[in-house]
A and B are shown apart, each in its own frame.
Chain A
Amino acid sequence: MIIDLQKFIANGRPFWNELEAMLSRLEAEPDLRMPLRQVQLFHQLYERTAADLAKITTFSSEPETRRYLENLVARAYGEIHETRDQQRRIFPLRWFFQTLPQTFRKHIRAFYLSVAITLAGCAFGGLAIAFDPDAKPVLMPFSHLLQDPARRVAEEENATTDRLAGHKTEFSAELMTHNTKISIFTLALGMTWGVGTIIMLFYNGVILGAVCVDYVHAGQTKFLMGWLMPHGVIEIPAILIAGQAGLLLALALIGRGTRAPLAARLREISGDLATLIGGVGVMLVWAGFIEAFLSQYHEPVIPYGVKIAFGFVELILLGLFLARSGANQKPETKDPDA
Protein backbone atom coordinates (compact mmCIF):
# COMPACT_ATOMS: atom_id res chain seq x y z
CA MET A 1 0.00 0.00 0.00
CA ILE A 2 1.36 3.40 -0.94
CA ILE A 3 0.42 6.18 1.46
CA ASP A 4 1.30 9.81 1.46
CA LEU A 5 3.57 9.71 4.49
CA GLN A 6 3.76 13.45 5.08
CA LYS A 7 -0.01 13.79 4.95
CA PHE A 8 -0.39 10.72 7.13
CA ILE A 9 1.91 12.13 9.82
CA ALA A 10 0.41 15.61 9.61
CA ASN A 11 -3.11 14.22 10.02
CA GLY A 12 -2.22 11.78 12.81
CA ARG A 13 0.11 13.90 14.91
CA PRO A 14 -2.58 15.95 16.75
CA PHE A 15 -4.31 12.73 17.86
CA TRP A 16 -1.05 11.08 18.89
CA ASN A 17 -0.03 14.13 20.86
CA GLU A 18 -3.38 14.19 22.64
CA LEU A 19 -3.13 10.50 23.49
CA GLU A 20 0.42 10.98 24.74
CA ALA A 21 -0.67 13.85 26.98
CA MET A 22 -3.51 11.76 28.44
CA LEU A 23 -1.17 8.85 29.05
CA SER A 24 1.40 11.05 30.77
CA ARG A 25 -1.35 12.39 33.01
CA LEU A 26 -2.62 8.90 33.85
CA GLU A 27 0.90 7.71 34.63
CA ALA A 28 1.63 10.74 36.80
CA GLU A 29 -1.69 10.51 38.66
CA PRO A 30 -2.56 6.82 39.03
CA ASP A 31 -5.62 7.59 41.17
CA LEU A 32 -7.09 9.82 38.49
CA ARG A 33 -10.73 9.04 37.70
CA MET A 34 -11.66 10.43 34.29
CA PRO A 35 -15.23 11.44 33.49
CA LEU A 36 -17.07 9.26 30.97
CA ARG A 37 -16.55 11.64 28.06
CA GLN A 38 -12.81 11.65 28.62
CA VAL A 39 -12.71 7.87 28.92
CA GLN A 40 -14.54 7.62 25.59
CA LEU A 41 -12.12 10.09 24.04
CA PHE A 42 -9.17 8.14 25.44
CA HIS A 43 -10.50 4.93 23.91
CA GLN A 44 -11.13 6.61 20.56
CA LEU A 45 -7.61 8.02 20.52
CA TYR A 46 -6.19 4.59 21.35
CA GLU A 47 -8.16 2.96 18.53
CA ARG A 48 -7.16 5.66 16.08
CA THR A 49 -3.47 5.37 17.03
CA ALA A 50 -3.62 1.57 16.84
CA ALA A 51 -5.12 1.86 13.36
CA ASP A 52 -2.34 4.28 12.37
CA LEU A 53 0.22 1.78 13.65
CA ALA A 54 -1.37 -0.92 11.52
CA LYS A 55 -1.09 1.40 8.49
CA ILE A 56 2.50 2.45 9.08
CA THR A 57 3.57 -1.15 9.65
CA THR A 58 2.81 -1.81 6.00
CA PHE A 59 4.76 1.31 5.04
CA SER A 60 8.19 0.01 5.72
CA SER A 61 10.57 2.95 5.53
CA GLU A 62 9.48 4.94 8.54
CA PRO A 63 10.97 3.06 11.51
CA GLU A 64 11.05 6.03 13.90
CA THR A 65 7.38 6.83 13.51
CA ARG A 66 6.50 3.16 13.78
CA ARG A 67 8.51 2.81 17.00
CA TYR A 68 6.88 5.94 18.39
CA LEU A 69 3.40 4.61 17.60
CA GLU A 70 4.24 1.18 19.02
CA ASN A 71 5.32 2.85 22.24
CA LEU A 72 2.10 4.85 22.42
CA VAL A 73 -0.11 1.85 21.67
CA ALA A 74 1.75 -0.31 24.22
CA ARG A 75 1.23 2.29 26.97
CA ALA A 76 -2.42 2.86 26.12
CA TYR A 77 -3.08 -0.88 25.81
CA GLY A 78 -1.83 -1.44 29.36
CA GLU A 79 -4.09 1.30 30.70
CA ILE A 80 -7.20 0.22 28.79
CA HIS A 81 -7.09 -3.54 29.09
CA GLU A 82 -5.87 -3.75 32.69
CA THR A 83 -8.68 -5.10 34.87
CA ARG A 84 -6.78 -5.51 38.15
CA ASP A 85 -7.17 -2.91 40.89
CA GLN A 86 -4.77 -0.01 41.09
CA GLN A 87 -2.57 -0.43 44.14
CA ARG A 88 -0.97 2.98 44.55
CA ARG A 89 -2.50 3.59 47.95
CA ILE A 90 -1.69 1.28 50.78
CA PHE A 91 -3.96 0.97 53.80
CA PRO A 92 -1.78 -0.81 56.40
CA LEU A 93 -4.50 -1.50 58.95
CA ARG A 94 -6.97 -2.83 56.42
CA TRP A 95 -4.23 -4.91 54.84
CA PHE A 96 -3.19 -6.36 58.21
CA PHE A 97 -6.58 -7.02 59.76
CA GLN A 98 -8.47 -7.95 56.62
CA THR A 99 -6.40 -8.84 53.55
CA LEU A 100 -3.74 -10.89 55.34
CA PRO A 101 -6.02 -13.25 57.33
CA GLN A 102 -8.41 -13.59 54.38
CA THR A 103 -5.52 -14.54 52.11
CA PHE A 104 -4.25 -17.02 54.70
CA ARG A 105 -7.65 -18.69 54.90
CA LYS A 106 -8.12 -18.67 51.13
CA HIS A 107 -5.11 -20.94 50.75
CA ILE A 108 -5.54 -22.91 53.97
CA ARG A 109 -4.86 -26.24 52.24
CA ALA A 110 -1.36 -25.09 51.33
CA PHE A 111 -0.88 -24.17 55.00
CA TYR A 112 -2.03 -27.60 56.15
CA LEU A 113 0.43 -29.14 53.72
CA SER A 114 3.18 -26.93 55.13
CA VAL A 115 2.26 -28.04 58.68
CA ALA A 116 2.20 -31.71 57.65
CA ILE A 117 5.67 -31.51 56.09
CA THR A 118 7.07 -29.78 59.18
CA LEU A 119 5.45 -32.35 61.49
CA ALA A 120 6.95 -35.14 59.40
CA GLY A 121 10.33 -33.47 59.87
CA CYS A 122 9.67 -33.14 63.62
CA ALA A 123 8.83 -36.83 63.86
CA PHE A 124 11.96 -37.76 61.94
CA GLY A 125 14.21 -35.49 64.02
CA GLY A 126 12.62 -36.60 67.30
CA LEU A 127 12.89 -40.30 66.50
CA ALA A 128 16.44 -39.93 65.24
CA ILE A 129 17.56 -38.27 68.47
CA ALA A 130 15.62 -40.77 70.60
CA PHE A 131 17.17 -43.79 68.91
CA ASP A 132 20.59 -42.35 68.14
CA PRO A 133 21.66 -39.53 70.51
CA ASP A 134 25.08 -39.51 68.86
CA ALA A 135 23.46 -38.06 65.74
CA LYS A 136 23.01 -34.74 67.56
CA PRO A 137 25.88 -32.92 65.81
CA VAL A 138 24.48 -33.98 62.43
CA LEU A 139 20.86 -33.08 63.17
CA MET A 140 21.55 -29.85 65.08
CA PRO A 141 24.83 -28.40 63.85
CA PHE A 142 24.56 -25.36 66.15
CA SER A 143 27.00 -24.99 69.03
CA HIS A 144 24.44 -23.77 71.60
CA LEU A 145 22.24 -26.82 70.95
CA LEU A 146 25.01 -29.41 71.22
CA GLN A 147 25.45 -28.85 74.93
CA ASP A 148 23.83 -31.22 77.44
CA PRO A 149 20.34 -29.72 78.16
CA ALA A 150 20.55 -30.18 81.95
CA ARG A 151 23.93 -28.48 82.06
CA ARG A 152 22.75 -25.60 79.94
CA VAL A 153 19.67 -25.08 82.16
CA ALA A 154 21.86 -25.08 85.27
CA GLU A 155 24.23 -22.53 83.71
CA GLU A 156 21.44 -20.24 82.56
CA GLU A 157 19.55 -20.38 85.86
CA ASN A 158 22.71 -19.70 87.90
CA ALA A 159 24.03 -16.94 85.69
CA THR A 160 24.90 -13.84 87.66
CA THR A 161 25.40 -11.57 84.67
CA ASP A 162 23.19 -10.73 81.70
CA ARG A 163 25.08 -12.16 78.71
CA LEU A 164 22.99 -10.04 76.34
CA ALA A 165 23.46 -6.80 78.25
CA GLY A 166 24.23 -4.00 75.81
CA HIS A 167 23.50 -6.22 72.79
CA LYS A 168 19.80 -6.96 73.03
CA THR A 169 18.66 -4.58 70.26
CA GLU A 170 21.44 -5.76 67.97
CA PHE A 171 20.59 -9.42 68.70
CA SER A 172 16.93 -8.70 68.05
CA ALA A 173 17.71 -7.04 64.69
CA GLU A 174 19.89 -9.99 63.65
CA LEU A 175 17.13 -12.44 64.51
CA MET A 176 14.53 -10.45 62.57
CA THR A 177 16.60 -10.10 59.41
CA HIS A 178 17.96 -13.66 59.48
CA ASN A 179 14.55 -15.26 59.96
CA THR A 180 12.97 -13.01 57.33
CA LYS A 181 15.69 -14.00 54.84
CA ILE A 182 15.05 -17.68 55.57
CA SER A 183 11.30 -17.13 55.08
CA ILE A 184 11.75 -15.32 51.77
CA PHE A 185 14.09 -18.08 50.67
CA THR A 186 11.49 -20.69 51.62
CA LEU A 187 8.92 -18.86 49.49
CA ALA A 188 11.32 -18.35 46.58
CA LEU A 189 12.22 -22.04 46.51
CA GLY A 190 8.64 -22.66 45.43
CA MET A 191 10.05 -22.04 41.94
CA THR A 192 11.74 -25.46 42.19
CA TRP A 193 8.24 -26.95 41.82
CA GLY A 194 8.11 -26.92 45.61
CA VAL A 195 11.02 -29.31 46.16
CA GLY A 196 13.19 -26.64 47.81
CA THR A 197 10.32 -25.40 49.98
CA ILE A 198 9.55 -28.94 51.14
CA ILE A 199 13.22 -29.51 52.03
CA MET A 200 13.35 -26.25 54.00
CA LEU A 201 10.17 -27.07 55.93
CA PHE A 202 11.22 -30.64 56.58
CA TYR A 203 14.69 -29.61 57.77
CA ASN A 204 13.21 -26.96 60.03
CA GLY A 205 10.94 -29.66 61.45
CA VAL A 206 13.88 -32.03 61.95
CA ILE A 207 15.74 -29.46 64.07
CA LEU A 208 12.64 -28.57 66.06
CA GLY A 209 11.76 -32.22 66.72
CA ALA A 210 15.32 -33.09 67.68
CA VAL A 211 15.62 -30.16 70.12
CA CYS A 212 12.26 -30.94 71.75
CA VAL A 213 13.00 -34.64 72.24
CA ASP A 214 16.52 -33.84 73.51
CA TYR A 215 15.22 -31.47 76.21
CA VAL A 216 12.16 -33.58 77.13
CA HIS A 217 14.36 -36.67 77.39
CA ALA A 218 16.69 -34.74 79.73
CA GLY A 219 13.71 -33.77 81.97
CA GLN A 220 13.84 -30.10 80.97
CA THR A 221 10.33 -29.77 79.48
CA LYS A 222 9.43 -26.71 81.54
CA PHE A 223 12.62 -24.91 80.54
CA LEU A 224 12.04 -25.87 76.89
CA MET A 225 8.50 -24.47 76.90
CA GLY A 226 9.56 -21.32 78.72
CA TRP A 227 12.45 -20.83 76.30
CA LEU A 228 10.66 -21.60 73.02
CA MET A 229 7.06 -20.60 73.52
CA PRO A 230 7.23 -16.79 73.88
CA HIS A 231 8.81 -16.33 70.44
CA GLY A 232 8.26 -19.77 68.88
CA VAL A 233 4.47 -19.56 68.80
CA ILE A 234 4.86 -16.65 66.39
CA GLU A 235 8.13 -17.57 64.67
CA ILE A 236 7.19 -21.16 63.78
CA PRO A 237 3.79 -20.23 62.28
CA ALA A 238 5.58 -17.48 60.34
CA ILE A 239 7.90 -20.05 58.75
CA LEU A 240 4.88 -22.27 58.10
CA ILE A 241 3.13 -19.39 56.33
CA ALA A 242 6.27 -18.76 54.27
CA GLY A 243 6.10 -22.46 53.38
CA GLN A 244 2.43 -22.01 52.53
CA ALA A 245 3.41 -19.23 50.11
CA GLY A 246 6.18 -21.37 48.59
CA LEU A 247 3.81 -24.30 48.12
CA LEU A 248 1.22 -21.96 46.62
CA LEU A 249 3.79 -20.84 44.08
CA ALA A 250 4.71 -24.46 43.37
CA LEU A 251 1.06 -25.46 42.92
CA ALA A 252 0.57 -22.59 40.47
CA LEU A 253 3.64 -23.74 38.54
CA ILE A 254 2.44 -27.33 38.41
CA GLY A 255 -1.12 -26.25 37.57
CA ARG A 256 -2.78 -29.54 38.41
CA GLY A 257 -6.55 -29.52 37.88
CA THR A 258 -6.70 -26.27 35.91
CA ARG A 259 -6.63 -25.47 32.22
CA ALA A 260 -5.47 -21.89 32.76
CA PRO A 261 -2.08 -21.11 31.18
CA LEU A 262 0.99 -20.72 33.41
CA ALA A 263 1.07 -16.92 33.14
CA ALA A 264 -2.58 -16.67 34.21
CA ARG A 265 -2.04 -19.04 37.15
CA LEU A 266 0.96 -17.07 38.38
CA ARG A 267 -0.84 -13.77 37.84
CA GLU A 268 -3.68 -15.05 40.01
CA ILE A 269 -1.47 -15.70 43.03
CA SER A 270 1.16 -12.94 42.84
CA GLY A 271 -0.87 -10.63 45.09
CA ASP A 272 -1.42 -13.40 47.61
CA LEU A 273 2.29 -14.24 47.71
CA ALA A 274 3.16 -10.61 48.45
CA THR A 275 0.48 -10.46 51.16
CA LEU A 276 1.58 -13.68 52.85
CA ILE A 277 5.27 -12.79 52.90
CA GLY A 278 4.42 -9.30 54.15
CA GLY A 279 2.52 -10.91 57.04
CA VAL A 280 5.46 -13.21 57.72
CA GLY A 281 7.73 -10.16 57.93
CA VAL A 282 5.49 -8.50 60.53
CA MET A 283 5.30 -11.69 62.59
CA LEU A 284 9.06 -12.13 62.54
CA VAL A 285 9.68 -8.57 63.71
CA TRP A 286 7.52 -9.32 66.74
CA ALA A 287 9.19 -12.71 67.30
CA GLY A 288 12.64 -11.10 67.07
CA PHE A 289 11.77 -8.61 69.82
CA ILE A 290 10.35 -11.28 72.08
CA GLU A 291 13.24 -13.69 71.54
CA ALA A 292 15.85 -11.06 72.42
CA PHE A 293 14.04 -9.34 75.26
CA LEU A 294 12.06 -12.18 76.87
CA SER A 295 12.85 -15.71 75.70
CA GLN A 296 16.53 -15.60 76.71
CA TYR A 297 15.73 -14.82 80.36
CA HIS A 298 14.85 -17.71 82.63
CA GLU A 299 14.13 -18.36 86.27
CA PRO A 300 14.80 -16.74 88.66
CA VAL A 301 14.69 -13.56 86.45
CA ILE A 302 11.34 -14.46 84.89
CA PRO A 303 9.28 -17.42 86.19
CA TYR A 304 8.69 -20.14 83.60
CA GLY A 305 4.96 -20.03 84.32
CA VAL A 306 4.81 -16.41 83.19
CA LYS A 307 6.71 -17.13 79.98
CA ILE A 308 4.59 -20.18 79.17
CA ALA A 309 1.37 -18.29 79.91
CA PHE A 310 2.56 -15.43 77.70
CA GLY A 311 3.24 -17.93 74.91
CA PHE A 312 -0.23 -19.45 75.26
CA VAL A 313 -1.89 -16.02 75.14
CA GLU A 314 0.07 -15.17 71.97
CA LEU A 315 -0.88 -18.50 70.39
CA ILE A 316 -4.58 -18.03 71.12
CA LEU A 317 -4.53 -14.46 69.80
CA LEU A 318 -2.67 -15.53 66.67
CA GLY A 319 -5.12 -18.39 66.10
CA LEU A 320 -8.09 -16.07 66.53
CA PHE A 321 -6.51 -13.47 64.27
CA LEU A 322 -5.82 -15.90 61.45
CA ALA A 323 -9.14 -17.72 61.83
CA ARG A 324 -11.54 -14.83 62.43
CA SER A 325 -10.08 -11.44 61.52
CA GLY A 326 -11.77 -9.92 58.49
CA ALA A 327 -14.20 -12.84 58.26
CA ASN A 328 -17.19 -10.50 58.03
CA GLN A 329 -15.66 -8.24 55.40
CA LYS A 330 -15.96 -8.95 51.71
CA PRO A 331 -12.64 -10.10 50.21
CA GLU A 332 -10.97 -7.54 47.97
CA THR A 333 -10.15 -10.11 45.31
CA LYS A 334 -12.12 -12.98 43.95
CA ASP A 335 -11.31 -16.42 45.34
CA PRO A 336 -9.81 -18.49 42.53
CA ASP A 337 -10.94 -21.71 44.21
CA ALA A 338 -14.53 -20.55 44.52
Chain B
Amino acid sequence: MKTSTLFIRTPEGIVFSQLLAGPVTRFFAWFIDQLCIGAAMSLLSSLFGLLGLFSLNFAVALNVIAYFVVGVGYGIFFEWTWRGQTIGKKLFRLRVVDGEGMRLQFNQIVVRNLLRFVDELPAFYFVGGLTCWLNRKCQRLGDIAANTVVIRAPRLAEPDLDQLLAGKFNSLRQFPHLAARLRQNVSPAEADTALQALLRRDEFDPVARVELFGELALHFRAKVEFPAEATDGVADEQFLRNVVDVIYRSPAKHPAAPQLH
Protein backbone atom coordinates (compact mmCIF):
# COMPACT_ATOMS: atom_id res chain seq x y z
CA MET B 1 0.00 0.00 0.00
CA LYS B 2 1.28 3.50 -0.85
CA THR B 3 1.80 5.67 2.23
CA SER B 4 3.49 9.00 2.80
CA THR B 5 5.65 7.59 5.58
CA LEU B 6 8.58 5.23 5.45
CA PHE B 7 8.95 3.10 8.56
CA ILE B 8 12.35 1.65 9.38
CA ARG B 9 12.75 -1.03 12.03
CA THR B 10 16.17 -1.23 13.64
CA PRO B 11 17.69 -4.56 14.72
CA GLU B 12 16.90 -3.47 18.30
CA GLY B 13 13.21 -3.52 17.37
CA ILE B 14 12.76 0.24 17.44
CA VAL B 15 10.67 1.70 14.65
CA PHE B 16 11.27 5.22 13.38
CA SER B 17 9.52 6.97 10.55
CA GLN B 18 10.53 9.30 7.73
CA LEU B 19 7.97 11.48 5.95
CA LEU B 20 8.22 10.85 2.20
CA ALA B 21 8.16 13.76 -0.24
CA GLY B 22 5.53 13.63 -2.98
CA PRO B 23 6.06 14.26 -6.71
CA VAL B 24 4.59 17.77 -6.66
CA THR B 25 6.91 19.10 -3.93
CA ARG B 26 9.83 17.42 -5.63
CA PHE B 27 8.88 19.03 -8.94
CA PHE B 28 8.92 22.49 -7.34
CA ALA B 29 12.32 21.78 -5.78
CA TRP B 30 13.58 20.62 -9.19
CA PHE B 31 12.23 23.81 -10.78
CA ILE B 32 14.19 25.93 -8.29
CA ASP B 33 17.28 23.88 -9.06
CA GLN B 34 16.80 24.50 -12.78
CA LEU B 35 16.65 28.23 -12.10
CA CYS B 36 19.88 27.95 -10.11
CA ILE B 37 21.55 26.02 -12.93
CA GLY B 38 20.33 28.66 -15.39
CA ALA B 39 21.71 31.44 -13.20
CA ALA B 40 25.06 29.69 -12.80
CA MET B 41 25.29 29.16 -16.55
CA SER B 42 24.49 32.82 -17.29
CA LEU B 43 27.25 33.86 -14.93
CA LEU B 44 29.74 31.43 -16.44
CA SER B 45 28.75 32.42 -19.99
CA SER B 46 29.46 36.05 -19.15
CA LEU B 47 32.88 35.12 -17.78
CA PHE B 48 33.66 32.98 -20.81
CA GLY B 49 32.42 35.83 -22.97
CA LEU B 50 35.28 37.94 -21.60
CA LEU B 51 37.65 35.10 -22.40
CA GLY B 52 36.26 35.19 -25.95
CA LEU B 53 38.02 38.49 -26.48
CA PHE B 54 41.25 36.47 -26.58
CA SER B 55 40.04 33.18 -28.13
CA LEU B 56 36.44 32.69 -29.24
CA ASN B 57 37.07 29.01 -30.00
CA PHE B 58 38.32 28.34 -26.47
CA ALA B 59 35.50 30.35 -24.90
CA VAL B 60 32.80 28.44 -26.79
CA ALA B 61 34.45 25.11 -25.88
CA LEU B 62 34.51 26.06 -22.20
CA ASN B 63 30.88 27.10 -22.42
CA VAL B 64 29.87 23.74 -23.94
CA ILE B 65 31.78 21.79 -21.28
CA ALA B 66 30.53 24.00 -18.43
CA TYR B 67 26.92 23.58 -19.55
CA PHE B 68 27.32 19.80 -19.46
CA VAL B 69 29.28 19.69 -16.20
CA VAL B 70 26.97 22.09 -14.35
CA GLY B 71 23.86 20.31 -15.65
CA VAL B 72 25.05 16.86 -14.61
CA GLY B 73 27.23 17.83 -11.66
CA TYR B 74 24.94 20.29 -9.87
CA GLY B 75 22.87 17.60 -8.15
CA ILE B 76 25.88 15.42 -7.41
CA PHE B 77 27.91 18.27 -5.92
CA PHE B 78 25.21 19.70 -3.67
CA GLU B 79 23.71 16.42 -2.56
CA TRP B 80 27.17 15.23 -1.53
CA THR B 81 28.36 18.39 0.20
CA TRP B 82 25.00 19.20 1.82
CA ARG B 83 24.18 15.63 2.82
CA GLY B 84 21.33 14.94 0.43
CA GLN B 85 20.13 18.47 -0.27
CA THR B 86 20.31 20.86 -3.21
CA ILE B 87 19.25 24.50 -3.09
CA GLY B 88 15.71 23.57 -4.21
CA LYS B 89 15.49 20.73 -1.72
CA LYS B 90 16.74 22.98 1.07
CA LEU B 91 14.05 25.55 0.28
CA PHE B 92 11.34 22.93 0.33
CA ARG B 93 12.86 21.08 3.30
CA LEU B 94 13.50 17.90 1.37
CA ARG B 95 16.45 15.57 1.76
CA VAL B 96 17.75 12.52 -0.09
CA VAL B 97 18.46 9.64 2.28
CA ASP B 98 19.36 5.98 1.96
CA GLY B 99 16.30 3.79 1.46
CA GLU B 100 17.16 1.69 4.50
CA GLY B 101 18.19 4.49 6.81
CA MET B 102 21.93 3.98 6.29
CA ARG B 103 24.48 6.69 5.55
CA LEU B 104 24.06 8.15 2.05
CA GLN B 105 26.99 7.11 -0.16
CA PHE B 106 28.64 9.05 -2.96
CA ASN B 107 27.92 6.21 -5.41
CA GLN B 108 24.22 6.41 -4.65
CA ILE B 109 24.22 10.14 -5.35
CA VAL B 110 26.04 9.63 -8.66
CA VAL B 111 23.68 6.87 -9.80
CA ARG B 112 20.46 8.70 -8.85
CA ASN B 113 21.63 11.83 -10.68
CA LEU B 114 22.80 10.01 -13.82
CA LEU B 115 19.49 8.18 -14.05
CA ARG B 116 17.81 11.57 -14.53
CA PHE B 117 18.53 11.04 -18.22
CA VAL B 118 15.75 8.44 -18.27
CA ASP B 119 13.53 9.99 -15.60
CA GLU B 120 13.23 13.27 -17.49
CA LEU B 121 11.88 11.54 -20.63
CA PRO B 122 10.05 12.61 -22.71
CA ALA B 123 9.87 16.05 -21.03
CA PHE B 124 9.44 17.62 -17.58
CA TYR B 125 10.27 14.41 -15.74
CA PHE B 126 7.18 12.59 -16.98
CA VAL B 127 8.68 9.11 -16.54
CA GLY B 128 10.20 10.00 -13.17
CA GLY B 129 7.02 11.69 -11.94
CA LEU B 130 4.83 8.80 -13.02
CA THR B 131 7.13 6.28 -11.38
CA CYS B 132 7.24 8.40 -8.24
CA TRP B 133 3.46 8.61 -8.17
CA LEU B 134 3.02 4.86 -8.59
CA ASN B 135 5.89 3.76 -6.35
CA ARG B 136 5.22 2.76 -2.74
CA LYS B 137 8.16 4.86 -1.51
CA CYS B 138 7.63 7.76 -3.98
CA GLN B 139 10.85 6.83 -5.79
CA ARG B 140 11.68 7.83 -9.36
CA LEU B 141 13.77 5.41 -11.44
CA GLY B 142 17.01 7.00 -10.24
CA ASP B 143 15.97 6.52 -6.63
CA ILE B 144 15.09 2.89 -7.25
CA ALA B 145 18.47 2.22 -8.88
CA ALA B 146 20.38 4.02 -6.13
CA ASN B 147 18.13 2.75 -3.32
CA THR B 148 17.42 6.23 -2.05
CA VAL B 149 14.27 8.05 -0.97
CA VAL B 150 13.49 11.75 -0.71
CA ILE B 151 12.05 12.68 2.66
CA ARG B 152 10.49 15.77 4.09
CA ALA B 153 12.62 17.23 6.86
CA PRO B 154 10.38 19.66 8.75
CA ARG B 155 12.02 22.08 11.13
CA LEU B 156 12.10 20.58 14.59
CA ALA B 157 11.02 23.48 16.76
CA GLU B 158 8.56 23.89 19.55
CA PRO B 159 5.67 26.26 18.77
CA ASP B 160 5.64 29.50 20.72
CA LEU B 161 3.10 28.37 23.26
CA ASP B 162 4.01 30.98 25.83
CA GLN B 163 2.75 33.69 23.52
CA LEU B 164 -0.34 31.71 22.57
CA LEU B 165 -1.36 30.71 26.08
CA ALA B 166 0.14 33.46 28.22
CA GLY B 167 -1.76 34.91 31.15
CA LYS B 168 -4.68 32.54 31.05
CA PHE B 169 -5.90 30.66 34.09
CA ASN B 170 -6.18 26.95 33.33
CA SER B 171 -8.97 25.37 35.32
CA LEU B 172 -8.01 21.86 34.14
CA ARG B 173 -4.74 22.05 36.06
CA GLN B 174 -6.67 22.04 39.29
CA PHE B 175 -7.03 18.31 38.69
CA PRO B 176 -3.53 17.03 37.93
CA HIS B 177 -4.51 13.35 37.84
CA LEU B 178 -7.19 14.08 35.22
CA ALA B 179 -4.79 16.31 33.29
CA ALA B 180 -2.30 13.42 33.22
CA ARG B 181 -5.01 11.11 31.92
CA LEU B 182 -5.91 13.65 29.22
CA ARG B 183 -2.25 13.73 28.07
CA GLN B 184 -2.33 9.95 27.98
CA ASN B 185 -5.54 9.66 25.96
CA VAL B 186 -4.86 12.23 23.29
CA SER B 187 -3.15 10.99 20.11
CA PRO B 188 -0.37 13.04 18.42
CA ALA B 189 -2.69 13.81 15.51
CA GLU B 190 -5.43 15.06 17.83
CA ALA B 191 -2.98 17.19 19.79
CA ASP B 192 -1.60 18.65 16.60
CA THR B 193 -5.10 19.41 15.27
CA ALA B 194 -5.97 21.33 18.43
CA LEU B 195 -2.71 23.25 18.34
CA GLN B 196 -3.04 24.12 14.66
CA ALA B 197 -6.63 25.30 15.19
CA LEU B 198 -5.41 27.70 17.88
CA LEU B 199 -2.44 28.89 15.88
CA ARG B 200 -4.63 29.63 12.85
CA ARG B 201 -7.67 30.93 14.74
CA ASP B 202 -7.48 34.39 13.18
CA GLU B 203 -7.62 32.96 9.67
CA PHE B 204 -11.14 31.50 10.10
CA ASP B 205 -14.48 33.19 9.40
CA PRO B 206 -16.19 34.04 12.72
CA VAL B 207 -19.01 31.53 12.23
CA ALA B 208 -16.68 28.76 11.06
CA ARG B 209 -14.40 29.52 14.00
CA VAL B 210 -17.19 29.10 16.53
CA GLU B 211 -18.33 25.86 14.88
CA LEU B 212 -14.82 24.44 14.64
CA PHE B 213 -13.89 25.15 18.25
CA GLY B 214 -17.29 23.83 19.35
CA GLU B 215 -16.67 20.51 17.62
CA LEU B 216 -13.11 20.26 18.86
CA ALA B 217 -14.11 21.09 22.44
CA LEU B 218 -16.83 18.46 22.30
CA HIS B 219 -14.31 15.92 21.09
CA PHE B 220 -11.79 16.68 23.81
CA ARG B 221 -14.42 16.90 26.57
CA ALA B 222 -15.26 13.28 25.76
CA LYS B 223 -11.66 12.19 26.24
CA VAL B 224 -11.63 12.78 30.01
CA GLU B 225 -14.56 13.85 32.11
CA PHE B 226 -13.49 16.80 34.25
CA PRO B 227 -15.63 17.97 37.23
CA ALA B 228 -18.17 20.68 36.47
CA GLU B 229 -16.19 23.40 38.30
CA ALA B 230 -13.35 22.96 35.81
CA THR B 231 -15.48 23.26 32.70
CA ASP B 232 -18.61 25.23 33.54
CA GLY B 233 -18.60 28.72 32.11
CA VAL B 234 -15.47 28.04 30.06
CA ALA B 235 -15.92 28.93 26.37
CA ASP B 236 -15.07 26.27 23.78
CA GLU B 237 -12.02 28.12 22.53
CA GLN B 238 -10.73 28.65 26.07
CA PHE B 239 -11.33 24.98 26.86
CA LEU B 240 -9.21 24.05 23.84
CA ARG B 241 -6.48 26.44 25.02
CA ASN B 242 -6.53 24.69 28.37
CA VAL B 243 -6.29 21.29 26.69
CA VAL B 244 -3.31 22.38 24.54
CA ASP B 245 -1.70 23.91 27.62
CA VAL B 246 -2.03 20.63 29.49
CA ILE B 247 -0.68 18.59 26.58
CA TYR B 248 2.23 20.73 25.47
CA ARG B 249 3.40 22.67 28.49
CA SER B 250 5.03 21.42 31.65
CA PRO B 251 3.44 22.55 34.95
CA ALA B 252 6.72 24.25 35.90
CA LYS B 253 6.44 26.67 32.96
CA HIS B 254 2.91 27.55 33.80
CA PRO B 255 1.81 29.68 36.78
CA ALA B 256 0.62 26.93 39.03
CA ALA B 257 -3.03 26.67 39.64
CA PRO B 258 -4.09 25.87 43.16
CA GLN B 259 -3.14 22.24 43.67
CA LEU B 260 -5.46 19.79 45.37
CA HIS B 261 -3.91 17.77 48.16
Report A's interface with B, CB cutoff 8 A: 2, 5-6, 9, 27, 47, 50-51, 53-54, 57, 59-64, 66-68, 70-71, 73-74, 77-79, 81-82, 84, 87, 166-170, 172-174, 176-177, 180-181, 184-185, 187-192, 196, 249, 263, 266-267, 270-271, 273-274, 277-278
Q: Would you call B103 and A2 a contact (CB within 8 A)?
A: no
Measured in the bound complex, the distance between the Cα atoms of B146 and A179 in whole Å is: 23
Within 8 A of A (CB), among B83-126: 83, 97-108, 110-111, 114-118
A50: which B residues are within 8 A, CB to CB?
A: 10, 12, 14
Q: Would you call A266 and B10 a contact (CB within 8 A)?
A: no
Which one of B10, B98, B114, B146 lies within 8 Å of A73 (CB-CB)?
B10
Q: Would you call A177 and B68 a contact (CB within 8 A)?
A: yes
Known: A181-B117, A266-B146. A74 touches B101 (CB 8 A): yes
Does B135 sit at the interface, judged by CB under 8 A? no
Total A-B contacts with CB atoms under 8 angstroms apart: 163
The interface-forming segment of B20-28, B37-45, B184-192 is: B184-192
Which one of A27, A53, A62, A185 lies within 8 Å of B14 (CB-CB)?
A53
Known: A53-B16, A185-B118, A277-B114. A63 touches B192 (CB 8 A): yes
Measured in the bound complex, the distance between the Cα atoms of B114 and A24 in whole Å is: 29
Known: A170-B60, A173-B65. A64 touches B156 (CB 8 A): yes
Which A residue sits closest to B153, measured CB to CB? A71
- What is the CB-to-nearest-CB distance from A268 to chain B, in angstroms, rounded to a whole number? 10
Main secondary structure of the interface of B (DSSP, over half): helix
B156: which A residues are within 8 A, CB to CB?
A: 64, 67-68, 71
Measured in the bound complex, the distance between the Cα atoms of B127 and A192 in whole Å is: 11
Q: Would you call B16 and A77 a contact (CB within 8 A)?
A: yes
Which one of A62, A77, A170, A270 lies within 8 Å of B64 (CB-CB)?
A170
A51: which B residues are within 8 A, CB to CB?
A: 14
Measured in the bound complex, the distance between the Cα atoms of B111 and A62 in whole Å is: 39
Measured in the bound complex, the distance between the Cα atoms of B114 and A97 in whole Å is: 23
Q: Would you call A66 and B188 a contact (CB within 8 A)?
A: yes
Question: Nearest 7 pairs between A and B by C-beta?
Answer: A63-B188, A173-B61, A177-B68, A169-B61, A274-B110, A173-B64, A188-B118
Measured in the bound complex, the distance between the Cα atoms of B247 and A174 in whole Å is: 63
